[in-house]
Amino acid sequence: MPPLEAWQKVFVDAVKFVEQDPHAKAANCIQCHGGQPGTDDMAAAHEGVVTDPTSTKESAEKLCGACHAEVVTAQTQSLHFTNGGYDTIIGARLGEAPESHKAWEEARQNHCSGCHTTCGQCHISQPTSVGGGLISGHQFKGVQAFTRTCTGCHGSRVNDEYTGQNEGIPADVHWTKAGMPCFKCHTGDALHGMGADGKPLEKTERYDGAPAPECLDCHPDSVAGKSEIEQHNIHGDKLACQVCHSVENKNCYGCHVQTNEEDQPFFKIEPSVMNFKIGLNPQKSADRPWNYVVLRHAPIDPDNFAFYGKDILANFDALPTWKYATPHNIQRQTPQNQTCDSCHGNAEIFLSEEDLRPYEVEANQSVIPQQLPPKMGR
The 10s digit of each residue's pLDDT in 92-111 is 999 999 999 999 999 999 99
pLDDT at 377: 76
* 12 has pLDDT over 50: yes
- Domain with 311, as residue range(s), is 218-378
pLDDT at 7: 46
Do 106 and 235 sit in the same domain of this protein?
no
pLDDT at 282: 97
| 165 and 156 Cβ atoms separated by less than 8 Å | no
Q: How much of the chain, in percent, has pLDDT values that exceed 70? A: 97
What is the DSSP code (8-state) at residue 321? S
- CA proximity to 242, closest of 298, 190, 193, 173: 173
pLDDT at 130: 85
Considering the domain boundaries, does residue 158 fall inside one? no
- CA proximity to 16, closest of 164, 134, 132, 105: 134
Considering the domain boundaries, does residue 161 fall inside one? no
Do 190 and 300 sit in the same domain of this protein?
no
Query: Residue 181 and residue 120: Cα distance in Å, rounded?
Result: 20
* 1 has pLDDT over 50: no
For residue 153, what are the β-bridge partners? Answer: none
Do 191 and 258 sit in the same domain of this protein?
no
Considering the domain boundaries, does residue 4 fall inside one? no
Do 229 and 356 sit in the same domain of this protein?
yes
Query: Residue 19 and residue 13: Cα distance in Å, rounded?
Result: 9
Do 133 and 193 sit in the same domain of this protein?
yes
Do 136 and 230 sit in the same domain of this protein?
no
pLDDT at 115: 84
DSSP string over 178-192: T---GGGTS-HHHHT
Read off the pLDDT of residues 98-145 as tens digits, 9 standing for 90 and up.
Answer: 999 999 999 999 998 888 899 999 999 999 888 888 999 999 988 898
Q: What mean pLDDT is predicted for residues 269-286?
A: 95
* All residues at 6 or more sequence positions from 119 whose CB lies less than 8 Å from its CB, including other chains: 54, 60, 64, 72, 75
Considering the domain boundaries, does residue 213 fall inside one? no
pLDDT at 4: 53
Read off the pLDDT of residues 195-254 as tens digits, 9 standing for 90 and up.
Answer: 989 999 999 999 999 999 999 999 999 999 999 999 999 998 999 999 999 999 999 998
* 284 has pLDDT over 50: yes
Do 197 and 290 sit in the same domain of this protein?
no
Considering the domain boundaries, does residue 235 fall inside one? yes
Q: Which of 33-37, 112-116, 223-227, 284-288 has the lowest mean pLDDT?
A: 112-116
* 267 has pLDDT over 60: yes
Considering the domain boundaries, does residue 24 fall inside one? yes
Do 117 and 245 sit in the same domain of this protein?
no
Query: Residue 75 and residue 56: Cα distance in Å, rounded?
Result: 11
Do 188 and 239 sit in the same domain of this protein?
no
Do 189 and 335 sit in the same domain of this protein?
no
Do 197 and 264 sit in the same domain of this protein?
no
Query: Residue 70 and residue 284: Cα distance in Å, rounded?
Result: 32
Considering the domain boundaries, does residue 212 fall inside one? no
Report the domain count for the chain: 2
Last residue of a domain, one of 169, 201, 233: 201
